[in-house]
Structure 1
Amino acid sequence: MDWSKSKSIFIVVFLILNVFLYSLYLNRHTEAQLVEVLGEKTIEAQLQDDHITYGVLPTNLEKASYISATVKNFEEEQIVLQNAQKIVVENKNKLIVTLKDPVKISNLDQEESYRNFLQFQVHEGASYALWKVDQENRKITFFQRLNDRKIYYNINGVLTAYLNDNDEIIRYEQTLLDNIEEYNKEKTLLPPIQVIQALYGKRLLKPDSKITEMKLGYSTLIQLKTQVFVPTWEVRVKTQDDVHEEYFVNAVEGKVIDFQLDHTRVDVVDDALDIKEVNEE
């Protein structure tokens, strides 16, 4: 047997085999890429597949500033309210007001119904907006706002009004953020569709649900003596079972915010705090 000739044949066979395997690899790789491309869907298509719908999204909110604030010290000024039977300052930062004459609310679920109460019965009441009506516990929660943007679940910017059985406000507790300032440099905000994508990616949006509303507000970023707040998207969702859910996304970084701890803090009343009566009739 001619070894040189056999050697040449083996080399040619190996070269052909290598070319064939490389060609097969390229074909498989191309097919895999094609499958990935075909498998990629836009967020709109994914939402459509899960029957998740939304209406017209906000289009004019591209930039916003961080804001800072301090906590109001109610002991530093004399609070005078005409319809107040008793005014108590608790731990310097909480105002507790008992009304002489209860204030009737015609429609508990309608924000307009609280306008006179906020304007004439509450210290700096125009700074608050309706957030939640709790019929079972007979209380109404308002969040402080800046330029119609709510500051979500900050214990130092909450007004809680208490009702009697006739839907009349008889007492309220108030905390207030003071010296609110906007930072000069505005930040570019995530567009609403990317916010929806962030929620969808975490599987928070259930199939057959509807996004009913998206608004821009603020959430607490730093909570020290001077607090800092970041622009935040509020997303309201109605599920297939007619359950209303709310989600919050940092409008700058895209992080989903969990307010569970702040929910608890809003409702907590520490009876051990020092109480000082500043006005009682």
Structure 2
Amino acid sequence: MHWGQIKTLFILCFLLLDIYLLYLVMVKQEEADIDTKTNPEVSIEQQLESENIVIDTELPKDPDDEAFISINQRRFSEDDLEQIEKLNNQQTKVVEDKFIISIFEEPVALPEDPGEDIISSIVQNNVVYPTEYEFDSWNKDLNVLVFFQKKNDRPVYFNQNGMILVFLDNENKMIGYTQSMLGEPSVRNDKKPLIKPIRAIKVLYDNLQLGWGETVTDIEMGYHMMLPLDNGVHVLVPTWKVTVDENKNRYVNAVERFVFPVNDNEMLIDAIETTIERVRLIEDEAELKMDLIQWLNSKIQEIESE
């Protein structure tokens, strides 16, 4: 047999081998695709396991279909203002009937290492409409207690028109707070399917918001602002809040499957800057305004310097 014929035979053999190997790869890929479609939860869990990612919490039940809701800021009524004026141990100002700024005449001490229930009880004893809010977190960088207003028994995350910020001094005594309230929600559109909690975790993983060796320690459903409208109405969308390693919060749009670009410190700094602008609207009380603005600015400088 001539060398040219031998070389051609080898080329044909290698070509057939390549075709066979390609066929095997395509079969494996098709099997993987079928498995992913028929049992996505198992596939996701296996992926997380391969990255040493642990889910150390009981996942909520799969949610029903839901609609977006529309909501705007509530203006405090005359009756509300009377209740606010009756609050003890406080020097309180209400800006444009929508925003409470209060300073405690005597700082209110927190007990050493208080639990969430203790913190909630102490704060709720010093504000109006206390049951409308739930404790979210203690931001140690800014030394601020964060409370979100609830709608449909769910928290509305970082909406400056519906939250309480309680400011603490270096001894963890409450020295003042700000409070705003949202009005009543209305349904905005037809119901839409919401992603399951395990799928929200997968969205974080796919977006590099959850990585090797991290642990999902909590997951709950709330609302996040989708967009503000020109008339002041806010559109809120059901949102999964996923807590990683107990102190890192991620927010996943439960309808459109994307991660909200939320940083807790940045959101709080924005809220404090908004508070400063509202303090400037207080009529008279020049000394109080100056003290408040200087103190709030110091909070921002502390975190920015770090």
Q: TM-score range by the shorter chain?
A: 0.7 to 0.9
Q: 1:61: which partner in 2?
A: 63
- The alpha-carbon distance between structure 1 residues 217 and 146, as it changes in their structure 2 partners (threshold 3 A), is same
- The alpha-carbon distance between structure 1 residues 66 and 81, as it changes in their structure 2 partners (threshold 3 A), is farther
Are positions 1:270 and 2:272 aligned together? no
Q: 1:138: which partner in 2?
A: 143
Question: 8 Å contact 1:107–1:113 — kept in the other structure?
Answer: no
Structure with the larger RCO, 1 or 2 (CA within 8 Å, 6+ apart): 1
Q: 2:48: which partner in 1?
A: 47
* SS in structure 1 at match of 2:185: strand
- The alpha-carbon distance between structure 1 residues 157 and 107, as it changes in their structure 2 partners (threshold 3 A), is farther
Q: 2:26: which partner in 1?
A: 33
Q: 1:231: which partner in 2?
A: 238
Which of 74, 81, 85 is residue 90 of structure 2 equivalent to?
85
Question: 8 Å contact 1:84–1:97 — kept in the other structure?
Answer: no
* SS in structure 1 at match of 2:217: strand
| Cα distance between partner residues in 2 of 1:236 and 1:46 | 19
Q: How does 1:186-201 map to 2 (within 5 A)?
A: 186-201=191-206
Question: 8 Å contact 1:83–1:101 — kept in the other structure?
Answer: no
Are positions 1:212 and 2:205 aligned together? no
Q: CA deviation at 1:136?
A: 4.9
- The alpha-carbon distance between structure 1 residues 56 and 75, as it changes in their structure 2 partners (threshold 3 A), is closer
Q: 2:9: which partner in 1?
A: none
| Ranges in structure 2 where 5+ consecutive residues have no aligned partner | 1-12, 37-42, 289-306
| Cα distance between partner residues in 2 of 1:215 and 1:179 | 22
| Cα distance between partner residues in 1 of 2:151 and 2:72 | 14
Q: 1:245: which partner in 2?
A: 248
| Cα distance between partner residues in 2 of 1:168 and 1:249 | 34
| Cα distance between partner residues in 2 of 1:182 and 1:231 | 12
Question: 8 Å contact 1:66–1:230 — kept in the other structure?
Answer: yes
Are positions 1:157 and 2:162 aligned together? yes
Question: 8 Å contact 1:249–1:257 — kept in the other structure?
Answer: yes
Question: 8 Å contact 1:233–1:250 — kept in the other structure?
Answer: yes
| Cα distance between partner residues in 1 of 2:15 and 2:213 | 47
Deviations 1:113-133, CA, capped at 9 Å, x for gaps? 134334331121211111221
| Cα distance between partner residues in 2 of 1:200 and 1:194 | 10
Q: CA deviation at 1:146?
A: 2.0
Give the TM-score taking structure 1 as reference length. 0.78
Larger mean Cα displacement after TM superposition, 179-188 or 64-73: 179-188
Q: CA deviation at 1:143?
A: 1.4
* SS in structure 2 at match of 1:170: strand
Larger mean Cα displacement after TM superposition, 126-135 or 198-207: 126-135
- The alpha-carbon distance between structure 1 residues 135 and 198, as it changes in their structure 2 partners (threshold 3 A), is closer
Q: CA deviation at 1:234?
A: 0.4
| Cα distance between partner residues in 2 of 1:139 and 1:22 | 68
Specify the code of the residue in structure 2 equivalent to 1:57. L
Question: 8 Å contact 2:162–2:182 — kept in the other structure?
Answer: yes
Q: 1:17: which partner in 2?
A: none
Specify the code of the residue in structure 1 equivalent to 2:251. F
Q: CA deviation at 1:216?
A: 0.1
| Ranges in structure 1 where 5+ consecutive residues have no aligned partner | 1-19
| Cα distance between partner residues in 2 of 1:181 and 1:111 | 31
Question: 8 Å contact 2:70–2:186 — kept in the other structure?
Answer: yes
Identity across aligned pairs (percent)?
Answer: 25
| Cα distance between partner residues in 2 of 1:247 and 1:173 | 24
Q: Give the structure with the higher percent helix.
A: 2
| Cα distance between partner residues in 1 of 2:14 and 2:90 | 90
Q: 1:259: which partner in 2?
A: 262
* SS in structure 1 at match of 2:166: strand
Question: 8 Å contact 1:81–1:123 — kept in the other structure?
Answer: no
Larger radius of gyration: 1
Q: 1:5: which partner in 2?
A: none
CA RMSD in angstroms comes to 3.2
Question: 8 Å contact 2:60–2:197 — kept in the other structure?
Answer: yes
Q: Give the structure with the higher percent strand.
A: 1
Question: 8 Å contact 1:74–1:95 — kept in the other structure?
Answer: no
Q: CA deviation at 1:58?
A: 1.1
| Cα distance between partner residues in 1 of 2:91 and 2:32 | 66
